[in-house]
Amino acid sequence: MEPAQTIIRKLGGPSVVADLLGVHRTRVSSWQRSRKTGGTDGRVPQNHIPALLAHARAHHIDLAAEDFLLVEQSGGTRGRRTSKPDRQRADSPTAGKCILLIIGGGIAAYKSLDLIRRLRERGAEVRCILTPAGEEFVTKLAAGALANAVFTDLFDPQSEFDVGHIRLAREADLIVVAPATADLMAKMAGGHADDLATAVLLAADSPILLAPAMNPHMWARAATRRNVAQLAADGAAFVGPNAGEMAERGEAGTGRMAEPLEIVAAAEAMLAPAERPLAGKRVLVTSGPTLEAIDPVRYIGNRSSGRQGHAIAEAAARAGADVVLVSGPVALPDPPGVNVVKVESAREMLKAVEAALPADVAIFAAAVADWRVAEAGRQKLKKGEGGPPTFTMVENPDILASVAHRKAKRPKLVIGFAAETANVIANAKDKLKRKGCDWILANDVSPQAGVFGGDENTIHLVSAAGVGSWPTQTKNEVASTLVARIAENLGAKP
């Protein structure tokens, strides 16, 4: 029986599942059909798994994370995942490495089972620590069927006879925490060591990669932001969180754990031999939106999340550049190894950009507001009998054009973004001429494209030499591709 069929049966049938998820019954039934007939080949869509697991737990239904897992086995037959990797990828930086995976207590823990398989198929030895809360979501048996070894207890006499938590910390080439819950990150930031996971993390001198996962309100809390900033300052790297629907019905925002392949890509990047093609270069990046005050409460803004600009800054830093990131208000951790200057308005951003010059490369990924209110109210504007207020709008400074047309301190390579909703390439070519920059990275930001706040981007690089269209990539992949092109342009071998 396929996983979708089993899960639907356990939960009470297609109608019950459809009502639970707020979708039509036919959509649930389609999970049991093949892709050729519009189905999902027996797979439950990943965005629905947290809600189904949460419902099963609340109603004491015998349903576990491993029930959702389906793989292609040799000979083309399908079945449950086993501890044997599907294939070995000797060219992966994870091949032959020891990766310690710490699974925290969140509904996203079900993804960690797939993460284990993805790492092992790339040749990694995966050891797993289940936190006490993590064991509430993933069983030791399920993790042990996939990982090389599983540990749970700080005071286990069999593993602690030789101070096993120190050995686990020392033998790992990389420690991955997925999901990294708000509680677990708070303990890490505070230096706690009251269970096996936190003791290992405190004793570790190997790199640490965190994949945060929590409710959007928890992610946005000041306490969490402080903890993230502290962990980044301590040298931890982050992947995600992503934006999307939460396990709780009706909840959406930034807080979803990164997908397993995104975490694998981040792990591979951290374990890859260091290449620093931009060593000795100074790179300036702008990111996020700008907010233009109407009064002390209201403002004019846009939907930019800053993900692309922050990813570019982080990729440039990994490539060895001295990076200055001028960022508008975003709900993202500061990229490690980057000098971040936080601003709010377009005028503040221009001032920070000019202060950061000279630079070898300037990349303007920020979504700068084109206009602002000529005179922002000093007090909150109140409703009155005269109807809504009228505003006189004035144009904001054109940061990209002002830097591109500089006579002194002009970067060798000035790169802008063209966020368009129609005629993407034609408008980008026009912008290239008007702004005087060297490259324009054009993308479609219409609502159906899902770029603002999303995880993927489709880029068209427009320059005097022509147009190069890149395949749809994650924003981290776009950043890496761009940095490689920049290194090539500057004469460095990426």
**Residues involved in catalysis:** 302
Give the pair of three-digit tokens for residue 136. 């509430």
Give φ, ψ of 130 to 5 degrees.
-100, 120
What token pair was written down for 13? 């049938």
E-assigned strand segments in 48-198: 71-72, 78-79, 98-103, 125-130, 149-151, 174-180
Report how far apart, in Å, the C-alpha atoms of 119 and of each of 78, 104, 339 are. 20, 18, 32
Spatial separation of the C-alpha atoms in residues 453 and 440, rounded to whole Å: 21
Q: Can you tell me whether residue 76 is helix, strand or coil? A: helix
Could you tell me where the beta strands, DSSP code E, fall in 192-331?
208-212, 237-238, 242-245, 252-256, 282-287, 292-293, 299-300, 322-327
Task: Give the helix, strand, coil percentages of the chain, each rounded to 5.
Answer: 35, 20, 45
Name the residue among 182, 204, 177 with its Cα closest to residue 193: 204
One-letter amino acid identity for 482? L
Is the Cβ–Cβ distance between 322 and 281 less than 8 Å? yes
Give the CA diameter of the chain: 79
For 207, list phi and psi in degrees, rounded to 5: -65, 150
C-alpha–C-alpha distance, residues 358 and 389, integer Å: 43
Helices (H), 245-306: 260-271
Report which secondary-structure segment, H or E, holds 460.
strand 460-463
User: What's the CA gap between 252 and 244, in Å, rounded?
Assistant: 5
Tokens of 100: 């310690």
Residue-by-residue DSSP string for 397-434: P-HHHHHHT-SSS--SEEEEEEEESSSHHHHHHHHHHH
Q: How far apart are the first and last CA of the chain?
A: 49
